[in-house]
Structures are given as C-alpha cells and as structure tokens.
Amino acid sequence: IPSELGQLSELKTLDLSGNRFSGEIPASLGFLIHLNYLRLSRNVLSGQIPHLVAGLSGLSFLDLSFNNLSGPTPSILAKDYRIVGNAFLCGSASQELCSDATPLRNSSGLAEKDNSKHHSLMLSFAFGIVVASIVSLLFLFFWLLWHRSRSYVQQDYEFEIGHLKRFSFREIQTATSNFSPKNILGQGGFGMVYKGYLPNGTVVAVKRLKDPNYTGEVQFQTEVEMIGLAVHRNLLRLFGFCMTPGERMLVYPYMPNGSVADRLRDSYGEKPSLDWNRRICIALGAARGLVYLHEQCNPKIIHRDVKAANILLDESFEAIVGDFGLAKLLDQRDSHVTTAVRGTIGHIAPEYLSTGQSSEKTDVFGFGILILELVTGHHKMIDQGNGQVRKGMILSWVRTLKAEKRFAEMVDRDLRGEFDDLVLEEVVELALL
C-alpha cells in the first residue's frame, strides 16, 4: 500500500479489501484526519497496527481482519472495528501476553537438542494432532453440507457485510412482536415500516421491502453494502439487514420525531410543531445530505423520491434523509438504465416522468418541492381537498402567487406571520429555479 495515500488529506472512505496487498500498513494513513471508513481486510499485510491509524478518532469503521498482522494491539478509537483472523496479534497492548509467545519459539530450539527418542515422541504427538485436526475439519465440512441441504424454514444464521449486522428472521420477528400491527410506523412505496426493540434495548425501524424476489442474494448484498457506505450526519445510517429467500428487510435507527410530513401535519397548542427557523435548518440539512449522495458516493446515489415524508427528524430535529438507494435496490430486474419511474405524484421531475431516466436533476426538482412543502405546510392543504389534485397544483399555485408578489399568502398559517420576508422570497426563488 503506497504511503503517499496519507497525503490525500480530504479522503473520507478507503476500501482496499481483498486485493492481496502485502507489506506493512503505512503509518501515514494516520494523517487522514477526515477518514471515516477504512477497510484493509483479506490481504496479506504484516507488521504491527500503526498507533497513528489506531488513534484516528474520526473513524466510524476500521476493518483489518484476515491479514498477517502481529504484535500488541493498540487502543483503537474507531466506533466499530474488526481485527479477527490475525493469528499473531497479542492482547490489547499486553506485554504479558506478547512475552508468552517468546518461550514457544525458544522451545522448538530446545527440542532440537533433545535425544532422538524424545524427538520421535514429539513428532508422533504432533502427527496425531494434525490427523485429529483434519478429521475435525472434515466432520465440520460434511456437517455444514448436511445443514445447508435441509429444507429451509427461515435462516437463523448471521454474518456481516462490512460494519452492517445481518439479522436472522427470528430476531426481526422477536423485535417487532411478529410484525404486530401495533408496531407499524408507516407504509411507503417500498414497503411497511415497523418499530422494533433489540435485546440490548436499542430501538430500531425495520423496513420490510415489497417484492423481495426482484434481487438475488449477491446483488442485494452488494447494493446493501453500497447504502451502508453512505455515512453522513444528514443521512439515515443503515444499521443492518435481513435476507431470506422470501424476505428482504433493512434495519435503521429509530427517529423519535418522525418525519417532516408528520410534523407539518400536526400542530401542538398555539405554537407550530416546526417554527420558521427550524424549517430553514431542515432544508439546509436535507441539501447537505443530497449533496453527499451526489458528489461523495461512488457510484453516486440518486434518491428519486425527495419529499417531506422521506426527511426524518432526530432528537435535535436535525434533518435526516431516508429511503435513499432503495429505488435502485428494487430496480435490479431492469437494465443499467432505469426505466421504471419511482416517486410520488407532484414530486417527480417532468423529464424523469417522460423518459424514465433519473439523474441529480431529479433530486433537485424534488428538493424544490420539499422547500415549498416547508413554506406552505403543504400536507394540511392536501387534507382540505382532493389530495391528488392538490399535489399537482402546488407548483403552479406558488408560481402564480410569486408572479403577483403575494408571498405572504403562500406561508403556512400555523406560523401566524412569524417568518422572515426576505428569506421567504429567497427560498421560494430557489425552489422555483
């Protein structure tokens, strides 16, 4: 691995896994202070884990598994890390554990000085261990073949994709009380969402995807890993997944304040659930999340359904963009050119609707409609009349009011006039670009 990589000061994601790289891990990687994801697994790297790399406090995930690393394991500051499969690593900076390995090496030298009878005895003992190990491995191999050949009920084994946890179907059943209607959080174009409780007390949201047979297992795992690599403060982080022959489910952290659509629909007392300043902050946060999907992800991710219902709110009412990557996940039966139009009426860009081909412009159009939803309290307007007509009318309605300089009339009445006139005109201009 070239040490020059340490000069890429803005690097955020580095995945060199499975490339049979040899040599030591460059200590210069420890200078990448913006690095968020580092994966060097399944190579033949040797030497010690550099203290500079272990001390990267900004790392969300570090994977050094299945190499030939050795020496004491330093204190690793990454939120999640993997170092399994390195037989020569000692315990965490433990001199005692590392020193225990030294006599083992010396013992072979002493054995060579022993008499031939003792030497033969040792060889016989070693041979017996080898034979026993081979028999055990063969037994394990045939047991696995038998286990896999059994009739399938639901898969209950686990493995991990990067830092994502693979849940068994039984775990999801238990967490959601067997998909109880009481735990339903909502239903969207991609499937039902359930609230779940993990054994450690973590509250999660489980999205049970419709049409699970559209993707094969390998393709699903690949797309899920790509979604999992998208890590940003304004993106909904994928926590794990569940995959069986009849199910495809994604597991996310639970967002306690629901979606922007929920908050626009509900009012509490005299004050709106979302005041003017908070709505502007939500728009900025959603924009940052979309920019990351378009410019920082490789390959780039097009959301294709940007709307208030897909912008979630965390404990601090920070905007969290959800449902990204799902449109592509369910379109794997199509070619590399997406021909199936996915989205919500009133949020679909005209060129996407006419050609079926999406791009960043598709999300820019949806973001403009999101701004108008934040300004107008659009969901309450839908509830007052024919929702299908209202969804299609908001754009032309706002354009008419703008042309007549009647900006104040388009503002959500729940704000009771508490908004900035200058900012209002600027955000409406932005939304209509």
**Residue ranges of the binding site for ATP:** 207
Q: Measuring CA to CA, which residue among 123, 133, 120, 40 is closest to residue 85?
A: 40
Distance separating alpha carbons of residues 390 and 347, to the nearest angstrom: 12
Q: Measuring CA to CA, which residue among 369, 314, 319 is closest to residue 343?
A: 369
Distance separating alpha carbons of residues 348 and 298, to the nearest angstrom: 24
Contact of 283 with 273, CB cutoff 8 Å? no
Helix, strand, or coil here: 323?
coil
- φ and ψ at residue 70, rounded to 5 degrees: -140, 175
Distance separating alpha carbons of residues 408 and 120, to the nearest angstrom: 96
Catalytic positions, please?
305
- φ and ψ at residue 284, rounded to 5 degrees: -65, -45
Distance separating alpha carbons of residues 184 and 287, to the nearest angstrom: 28
The amino acid sitting at 415 is L
Annotated binding site: 207
Distance separating alpha carbons of residues 409 and 49, to the nearest angstrom: 62
Q: Which residues contact 179 (CB under 8 A, 6 or more apart)?
A: 173, 192, 194, 208
Q: Which residues are 68's β-sheet partners?
A: 46
Distance separating alpha carbons of residues 335 and 357, to the nearest angstrom: 11
Contact of 236 with 321, CB cutoff 8 Å? yes
How many other C-beta atoms are found inside a 10 Å radius of the C-beta of residue 200?
5
Distance separating alpha carbons of residues 414 and 271, to the nearest angstrom: 7
Contact of 42 with 65, CB cutoff 8 Å? yes
Joined together, the tokens standing for residue 200 give 């450690």
Q: In this structure, what is the dihedral angle of CA atoms 350, 352, 355, 357, given to the nearest 10 degrees? A: 160
Distance separating alpha carbons of residues 417 and 396, to the nearest angstrom: 23
Contact of 372 with 378, CB cutoff 8 Å? yes
